[in-house]
Each structure stands twice: as C-alpha cells, then as structure tokens.
Chains A and B, each alone.
Chain A
Amino acid sequence: MKKSNLSVLPVILWLCLFLVVPMLIVVGISFMGRDDLGNVVLDFNLESYSRFFDPLYLGIYWDTIVLSVLTTGLCLLLSYPLAYYIANAGPKMQTWGLVLITIPFWINFLIRTYAWVLLLRTQGVVNNVLLDFGLIQEPLQMLYTKGAVLLGMVYTFIPFMVLPLYVALDQMDKKLLEAASDLGASRWKSFWHITLPQTKSGIMTGSVLVYVSTTGMFVVTDILGGSKSSMISNIIQSQFLGARNWPFGSALSVIFVITSLIMIALFNRALTSKHMKTKEGR
C-alpha cells in the first residue's frame, strides 16, 4: 500500500506543478483588478465575471458552444465509418489508412489552414471549378463564414476522432459479433447492440479531444472566419495579448473550463443512457 502511494507521487507532483498550480493562478487572477497599464493588481472583485454577461460575450459564448458541438458531432459522424473501415481492413490497408490519417500532421498547421483559404476564396479553386462547369453564375462567398470555420475545425480535428475510434474498434473482440450473429442479430443490430456500446470509450475519448480542442482553437477562426466570426478563444487570446486585460481573460477561461466540464459530463450521461448501458462500478 505504502509503496504504491509512493510510486504515484511523481505523477501527483507533476500534475500539481503543471496543471493545478497554473489553474489556481488563473482562477486567482480572474478575481483581481488591473491598473491603467494593464498590470494585474491585488484588488478582489467580481467585475470580470459580471462583464461576461454583456450580450456581446454571451452571444460569442453561445456561438462557441454551438460550433464546438457541431464540430464534435460532424467529426464523429465522418470518423466512425472511416475508423470502422480501417479497423476491419486487411493488415496492409490498416497501416496505410493510419499513415494517411496522420500525414497531415507532418505539414505545418498554418500552411494547411491557409490552403483552405486558397480553395475557398472568391477566386479560389472551388469557385473556379464550379464556374467553369457552369454550375454557378457568380462566385460563392465561402470564406469568412461560419461554415468555413466549421469546415476548418472538422478538417483539423478529424484525426483526433479517428484514432481513438480506431483503437476502440480494433481492440474489440470480433468473436462478440460472431456470437451476436449466432444469436440471430442482423449486421445492423450487431452494430447497434454490440459494436457501438463496445466502442463507447473511443467515442468518449475522441469527442472530448475534439470538443475541448475546438473550444481552444483561435487560429482557424482567425484565418477562415475573418473578423466577423469570433470564438471565445479569440476573445481570451486578445484579452491576454492585445487588450492586456488578464483578469477578464482569466475569468473567461475559468467560465469556459467549467462549461467544458459540464458538457463532458452531459455527454458521458448521454452515452450511458439506457441503450448503451455500461458496466457498473467501472
């Protein structure tokens, strides 16, 4: 017992040093004031939090949640079939599939995002092709819309969903599907009653990764969303770096961390609802 306590000590120290302490600093700053130069001063107040209830910020807050949920949902819908296909392919195809999924990581993320600008802008590849084929008469406004941001987010985070799903699908005992089939289940029913509940951990991991990453992403919004669509992370970034209002930036961060935790809890509840009942005590 004592030995096992000691062996987790480094982990606890690590967590304290790099997670708990910084979080506490952020929480602390969110209750402080600032002087005219933007320095944080010890002056306990709730001003930063009350400022959040400005309709401007509430709107952005809501947009961020909607966009993150949409991104997570779309990533899940697009990734599951892909991960399923890779996990059930032959060993050679599996390796290739996984390499293809990870290849985008080898290229600088900014370059990849700017590539979308080239594709989506008014004189971009997509518009040109559509015009050439006479499918549209005038170029579509695709860049600098919420759709473009959503597209960019889904594109960026799809590997974060595919990989955990792949792992879950690959680890699943294939004999379970044979057993289901033997007991009279069609392929669809086997999928619904066996595969889906058995890959719940992958769904959960992927969704949390994508959701949390989306809420924290401001580069995609900046590049593909232009000035019109902002996310909470853009505001936080500008509060820290531009406006030098650390207390307000911290307050927004705290609010968003809490929101993310609530969302994760809700999602977890949805996954453990009656259809996907899981082991108790696990």
Chain B
Amino acid sequence: MIELVQVEKRFAGQVVVHPLSLTIKEGEFLTLLGPSGCGKTTILRMIAGFEQPTDGKILLDGTDLTDLPPNRRDLNLVFQHYALFPHMTVEDNIAFGLKMKKMPVKEQQERIQEAVTMTQLNSLTKRYPHQLSGGQQQRVAIARAIANKPKVLLLDEPLGALDLQLRKNLQSELKQLQRSLGITFVYVTHDQEEAMMLSDRIVIMNSGQVEQIGTPRQIYANPTTLFSATFVGENNIFSRDGKMFAIRPEKLRALRDVEGAKRTGEVLDVHYLGSVHKLVVQLDNEPMTVSILFDFNDNRPWEVGERVGVDWKSEDEVIIGS
C-alpha cells in the first residue's frame, strides 16, 4: 500500500529521520510512536507531501509519490490542531475537498451526508468552527478528510489537544471508524497507551531512528531495545554479566521471606491505584528501584521500610539486545 524506501530527512545538515524503509499494508492501522522531536511527524509530513525527503522514495500503490505536491496525492491528513477553515461552515469545510475535485453537486451532497453521519455531526452542519467544542472540531477535521475517500488517512496527534475523558471516547470511535471504513490509517502519537489501544502495528521511534516495529503484543512482551522496553509500559531493567534484561512489574513477585529471592531490598513506597497496587522497592547493592504490581486479590499489607525479597521466573526475563 504505502512503501517507504530508504527515506531520509536532513535539515541543515542535521539528520532528522535516519534512512527508513517501511511497508504499510492495506487496511492497516499503523502508529508512529515516540517522544516529541523523534521524527514521527516529519515522516507523516513527508508522506503527505509537505516535506520533501532528502533521500529515498515514497510509493503509494506502487506509484512513486515523492515528487508530487500534496494536492495531487490520494491521501488526506488530519491536522494536529484541525486547521478547519474559520470562514466556512462545517458543511462547507467538508465539501471543500470535493469541490476541488470538481465532483458533481449531487454526489458531493451524498458524500457530505455520509461523512457527517459517520462522525455524528448531523445537527451541526450549519455551524462555524468557532461555535464548536474541541471534540466537535476534531470530528469535523476527520469528516473533512474521510469525505474524500482517500486511500490512506494520515493523523497527526489528532487527539492531542483534548482532555483525557474525551480522548478515551474518541479513541474507541476512531478505531471503529477505521474498521468500518477499511482505510489504511497512519497515526502519529506520543501517547503509548493510545498507540497500544488503537494500532495493528506500532513503529517506535527515538531521535530519528526506528527502535522497533511490531504489534502491540510483540512490543509489550518482547521489546528489543532498552528504549522500547521503557517507553511502552513500565519496566524493570536488570543486568547480569554485562547483559540487560527486562521484567514487567506484574511479572515480579514480592516475598516476605528474603531467603532464596533473586534480589532483596526495602519497600520505598506503596501506591494504591484501585484495581492494582504497586510497590516501589529500593534494591540492596544496586542503585535502582523496581516496581512490583499486585492485582486486587492480593491484600497483604506492606509497610514502607519493610524488608522484601524480589523474585521472578527465569522465563519472564526479556533479553534486550545490543
């Protein structure tokens, strides 16, 4: 579907995106995940056509897009701050792309109706963007993009400006929308939870480089680099014989009996988080803390300052390469 071939981006001699090859499959929900400044937005903007790769090619359905301007690419971008046209109603905003394609008015109407229904904007079509809430504006941005029936929808932190509750609701709506449309989504976010929830595959990026590509399950269970081990979900990193391995907090066990435990330490803090509780343990002999999760069934009270043995099964160790 979309193919990036050794795509590289440099700004003023600085490498922003290291050579990257990536194939995005049809109908896939692919997320570029990483901290700000990692190059994920630049990649999205290169696909959309707002940035030119310094090197490499971008193919859509086998045709080379690299030199085409954004208005001649069959894909649409949902902007981070929506970029709705303030002087147009919701309806006119959605119609804009269709008008540019010189689509017959009747067909335009159908497309608008369809997009509006999908995004639940039916009662708001005559409003102007400044009369809408943040969440509604976000829907308009999506409606405006999907009305064009693009082959690929690019989304640049589309939920970044919304508060948590609304975000959670819109996340599941987005996922459903993507399923029912069957369009390929390329999604950029710095929120690892969001990425886990939405994506078929995640590309983890750090300072312009790909750290790992995989399904959410693969990335959580088998992180291959230190960065992906710690960026997605909480993790405890140990080292043995110069090699690093990671164990998730829920795989660690806290023992009252210090004897026979793999590590020992002292309880530094106890967090009650409702469905789970968490111990923060300062290890003996090692200048690090580990987190241990319990599920709600485990009601043993722990006191700060208590001695604790930290143990785990050897098969839960995840070796981190290089």
Residues of A whose CB lies within 8 Å of any CB of B are: 173, 175-176, 178-186, 189, 193-194, 197-198, 200, 276-280
A173 to B83, CA, bound (A): 8
Closest Cβ–Cβ distance, residue A37 to chain B (whole Å): 58
CA distance A250 to B56 in the complex (A): 74
- B76 partner residues in chain A, CB cutoff 8 A: 182-183
- B300 interface residue, CB < 8 Å from A? no
| B-side interface size class | 20 to 34
Which B residues from 124 to 153 make CB contacts under 8 A with A? 128, 130, 144, 148
Q: Are A183 and B87 in contact (CB under 8 A)?
A: no
Asked if B86 and A179 make an inter-chain contact with CB atoms under 8 angstroms apart, the answer reads no
Q: Which residues of B contact A184 (CB under 8 A)?
A: 71-72, 97, 100-101, 148
CA distance A198 to B76 in the complex (A): 22
Residue B214 is within 8 A (CB to CB) of chain A in the complex: no
- Please tell me which one of the listed residues A186, A189, A198 contacts residue B87 in the complex, with CB atoms under 8 A apart: A198
For B87, the chain A residues whose CB sits under 8 A away are 197-198, 200, 276-279
Closest to B75 in A: A182
B238 at the interface (CB under 8 A from A): no
Instruction: Determine if A178 and B71 form an interchain contact, defined as CB atoms under 8 angstroms apart.
Output: no
Task: Assess whether B50 is interfacial by the CB under 8 Å rule.
Answer: yes
B interface secondary structure, majority: loop
Interface pairs A-B: 10 shortest CB-CB: A183-B97, A184-B100, A179-B83, A175-B83, A181-B70, A197-B87, A184-B71, A181-B71, A182-B77, A185-B100
Interface string of B96-122 (1 = CB under 8 A from A): 110011000000000000000000000
* Residue contact A183 to B144, C-beta cutoff 8 Å: yes
Determine how close the nearest CB of chain A comes to the CB of B235; give it in whole angstroms. Answer: 37
How distant is the Cα of A194 from the Cα of B84 in the complex, in angstroms?
11
Could you list 24 A-B pairs, sorted by A, with CB under 8 Å?
A173-B83, A175-B83, A176-B85, A178-B79, A179-B84, A181-B50, A181-B70, A181-B71, A182-B49, A182-B76, A183-B71, A183-B76, A183-B100, A183-B144, A183-B148, A184-B100, A186-B71, A193-B96, A194-B85, A198-B86, A277-B87, A277-B88, A279-B86, A279-B87
**Separation of A280 and B128 alpha carbons in the complex (Å):** 9
Q: Which among B83, B88, B96, B128 is the interface contact of A178 at CB below 8 angstroms?
A: B83
Q: How far is the CA of A180 from the CA of B49 in the complex (A)?
A: 13
**Which residues from A are CB-within-8-Å of B144?**
183
Docked complex Cα distance between A179 and B148 (Å): 13
Chain B residues with CB under 8 A of A186: 71
Give the residue name and chain of the A residue nearest to B92 (CB): A277
CA distance A138 to B71 in the complex (A): 54
Q: Report B-chain residues with C-beta under 8 Å of the C-beta of A185.
A: 71, 96, 100
Contact of A179 with B79 in the complex, beta carbons under 8 Å = yes
Given the interface pairs A175-B81, A179-B83, the reply to whether A279 lies near B70 with Cβ below 8 Å is no
B182 lies within 8 A of chain A by Cβ: no
Tell me, yes or no, whether B69 is within 8 Å of chain A by CB. Answer: yes
The residue in A176, A181, A197, A280 that gathers the most chain B C-beta atoms within 10 A of its C-beta is A181
B195 on the A face (CB < 8 A): no
Looking at A176, A178, A181, A184, the one whose CB has the most chain B CB atoms below 10 A away is A184
Contacts of B148 on A, CB cut-off 8 Å? 183-184
Q: Can you name the residue of chain B whose Cβ is closest to the Cβ of A279?
A: B128
Residue from the list B69, B86, B96 in contact with A183, Cβ < 8 A: B96
**B72 nearest CB neighbor, chain A only:** A184
Q: CA separation between A179 and B70, bound complex, in Å?
A: 9
Instruction: Please name all residues of chain A whose beta carbon is closer than 8 Å to the beta carbon of B83 when the two chains form the complex.
Output: 173, 175-176, 178-179
Chain B positions within 8 Å of A178 at CB level: 50, 70, 77, 79, 83
- B48 beta carbon closer than 8 Å to chain A: yes
Query: Looking at B70, B72, B77, which has the most chain A CB atoms within 10 Å of its CB?
Result: B70
Residues of chain B contacted by A194 (CB below 8 angstroms) = 85
Interface hits, B228-260 → A, CB 8 Å: none
Using Cβ atoms and an 8 Å threshold, which residues of chain B touch A280? 128
> Hey, which chain B residues are within 8 Å of A176, CB to CB?
83, 85-86
Which B residue sits closest to A184, measured CB to CB? Answer: B100
**Distance (Å) between the CB of B302 and the closest chain A CB?**
51
CA separation between A259 and B98, bound complex, in Å? 43
Q: How far is the CB of A177 from chain B (nearest CB, A)?
A: 9
A276, B87: Cα distance in complex, Å: 8
Q: Which residues of B contact A200 (CB under 8 A)?
A: 87
Contact partner of A180 among B81, B96, B128, CB < 8 A? B96
> Separation in Å of the B18 CB from the closest CB of chain A?
25
Cα–Cα, bound, A178→B128 (Å): 20
CA distance A197 to B130 in the complex (A): 16
Residue of A nearest to B76 (CB): A182
Separation of A179 and B97 alpha carbons in the complex (Å): 10
Given A181-B71, A186-B71: A279 and B79 interface contact (C-beta under 8 Å) = no
> Could you tell me the distance between the alpha carbons of A179 and B129 in the complex, rounded to whole angstroms?
15
B19 to A: closest C-beta gap in Å: 26
Task: Give A189 to B70 CA distance when docked, in angstroms.
Answer: 14
CB proximity of A87 to chain B, nearest CB, Å? 18
Report the minimal beta-carbon distance from A275 to chain B, rounded to whole angstroms: 11
* Cβ–Cβ < 8 Å partners of A279 in chain B: 86-87, 128, 130
Distance (whole angstroms) from the CB of A190 to the closest CB of chain B: 8
Chain B residue numbers with a CB within 8 Å of A175 are 79, 81, 83
Q: Which of A173, A182, A198 is in CB contact (< 8 Å) with B71?
A: A182
In the complex, which residues of chain A have a beta carbon less than 8 angstroms from the beta carbon of B69? 181
Q: How far is the CA of A176 from the CA of B83 in the complex (A)?
A: 5
Whole-angstrom distance between the Cβ of A120 and the nearest chain B Cβ: 43
Looking at B71, B76, B77, B88, the one whose CB has the most chain A CB atoms below 10 A away is B71
